[in-house]
């Protein structure tokens, strides 16, 4: 992590490293299986995999911001939002990211960017309408923690590798089958199975990492502002307001849950195992304990 006043989280650093190592290992095995099945086409497979990974790393932040409707705003257009980000960046001793607003009533916020210099922090119009100043700063401190710890970039790349496995499988199988012939039928049958395994394991690893990073951002963001109660209030308010948003709008936002401050839709029971966020109860409990540690009521 680049030096900031955000409290370092070695647990998060270890988990990010382990997740990337395991997913990278899966990916190497997967590409190896493809090369074994389509030996003559191995340069094409390696080039395709490398090209997609390069494009994802360099352009993922722009793609994510565009997909979520983020529009960069100036201090004149959004003085309150810029003022809050300015105060937090000065407090954290970190470069100021781009500041954006997404025009949606879903109350949420997110951060993107592969580095602090390329980062963007975005709040929705629904969030800005509903939160008080200290609550907004709590949410923004949470999002800036993701930037400071660089877990946004790790999550983006990790999630993409699973999707890329399926994409390369379809291209490789289509290419091999259309040329008709000399490939081992057993390997051709094995490739979709390996691809599915890579996707499922990648999905589970990123979900486990995502839940931990949200708890980490809650803690380090609250430590930075010194007001865990403000973040807890924002969490409670945002989660309560989600039930008043039309289901159609929530479903449109749901694919980006892993990036959001709070999930647009959350499930119960078994579905929580696959959730990108801890439960509201877990987050509030951690923030309550942090308040007591800081000697706050």
82 is in an annotated binding site: no
CA-based angle 275:279:280, to the nearest 5? 140
| Spatial distance between the Cα atoms of 116 and 128, rounded to a whole number of angstroms | 23
Is residue 112 within 8 A of residue 207, CB to CB? The reply is: no
**Which of the residues 72, 143, 281, 293 is marked catalytic?**
143
Q: Is 28 exposed, middle or buried (0-12, 13-18, 19+ CB in 10 A)?
A: exposed
146 is in an annotated binding site: yes
Residue 110's H or E segment, with its range, is strand 109-112
Return the SS3 of 49: helix
| Spatial distance between the Cα atoms of 27 and 106, rounded to a whole number of angstroms | 35
The answer to whether 72 is a known catalytic residue is no
| Spatial distance between the Cα atoms of 44 and 179, rounded to a whole number of angstroms | 14
254 is in an annotated binding site: no
Binding-site positions for Zn(2+): 142, 146, 214
**Active-site residue numbers?**
143
Binding-site positions: 142, 146, 214
């Amino acid at each position: 992590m680049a030096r900031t006043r955000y409290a370092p989280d070695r647990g998060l650093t270890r988990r990010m490293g382990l997740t990337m190592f395991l997913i990278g290992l899966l990916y190497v095995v997967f590409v190896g299986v493809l090369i074994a099945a389509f030996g003559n086409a191995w340069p094409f497979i390696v080039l395709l995999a490398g090209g997609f990974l390069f494009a994802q790393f360099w352009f993922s932040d722009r793609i994510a911001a565009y997909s979520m409707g983020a529009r960069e705003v100036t201090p004149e257009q959004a003085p309150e939002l810029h003022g809050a980000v300015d105060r937090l960046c000065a407090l954290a001793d970190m470069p100021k990211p781009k500041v954006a607003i997404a025009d949606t009533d879903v109350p949420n916020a997110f951060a993107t960017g592969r580095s602090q210099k390329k980062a963007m922090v975005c709040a929705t119009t629904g969030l800005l309408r509903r939160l008080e100043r200290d609550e907004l700063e709590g949410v923004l401190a949470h999002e800036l923690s993701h930037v400071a710890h660089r877990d946004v970039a790790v999550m983006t790349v990790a999630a993409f590798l699973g999707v890329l496995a399926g994409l390369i499988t379809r291209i490789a199988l289509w290419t091999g089958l259309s040329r008709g012939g000399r490939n081992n039928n057993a390997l051709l049958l094995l490739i979709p199975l390996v691809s599915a395994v890579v996707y499922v394991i990648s999905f589970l690893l990123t979900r486990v990492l995502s839940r931990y990073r949200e708890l980490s951002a809650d803690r380090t963001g609250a430590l930075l502002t010194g007001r865990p109660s403000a973040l807890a209030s924002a969490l409670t308010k945002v989660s309560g307001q989600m039930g008043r948003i039309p289901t159609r709008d929530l479903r449109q936002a749901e694919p980006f849950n892993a990036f959001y401050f709070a999930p647009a839709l959350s499930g119960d029971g078994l579905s929580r195992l696959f959730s990108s966020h801890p439960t509201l109860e877990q987050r509030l409990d951690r923030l309550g304990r942090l308040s007591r540690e800081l000697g706050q009521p």
